[in-house]
Amino acid sequence: MPDGRGRPGWPKEKAYMLYQGVGIYGIEWFRRKTGKSLDAIQAKARRMYGHGGLSRGAFTVREASRRTGYHREQLYRAMQALRQKWKRTSSQGSYLIYEEQLEELVQWLKTDYWSGYHRLYGCLWCDTQDRPHYELGLCQRCYQRFAQRLCRRDLPLARQSLLELVRAHPSILGEAVTAEVETQLDRGRVPAEFLLVKFVRNWSCVRG
């Protein structure tokens, strides 16, 4: 139905589609879906969103995770803690997180450490947040695996002793990787699991 100036009006379903979808799929997608001109879409968006129009940001959970560096599960947990309401493109569609909401999530997550002492958001080896931190940046399950690997080769379990051993044998991992492992151990954390596995496997050759 035309508006008071004789121009085609905006049916409710098209206005709803603009509100829900253009932030994710883009203005060109909406133009193809509705047949509206770009000028008409931009004018309507300015009326709906305010002065910023379509420049007002909206992100899917994946985009928000990529933009902030936080895992999607952390974003969901923050959303629940802050009691935010995220819009969806449809009943089964993607969630939309607006810039204001994302800023609030990030502020909350800055202190949402899994291990406050190590400033970690999850276990270094398995990324879990469900089990509590146990030691050296690991949950108890991963720490037990770490200890078993060292004990099988009679390697020291104490962090400082292991650090000294790594420093004394840089040829096992190479100088660059050894420096990375030293940094982690210096900070009171275990190195990446694949690096520890490599060191343990090659230790018997060096010792022999």
- pLDDT at residue 13, as a whole number: 64
Contact at 8 Å (CB) between 105 and 97?
yes
Report the range of poorest mean pLDDT among 27-41, 53-67, 75-89: 27-41
- pLDDT at residue 207, as a whole number: 65
Same domain, 51 and 67: no
Same domain, 83 and 38: no
Same domain, 36 and 89: no
Report the range of poorest mean pLDDT among 101-105, 128-132, 153-157, 175-179: 128-132
114 found inside a domain: no
Q: Structurally, how many domains does the chain consist of?
A: 3
115 found inside a domain: no
82 found inside a domain: yes
2 found inside a domain: no
Same domain, 85 and 36: no
Find the domain containing 26 and state its range: 12-55
126 found inside a domain: no
84 found inside a domain: yes
Q: Is the pTM value of this prediction over 0.85?
A: no
Same domain, 34 and 93: no
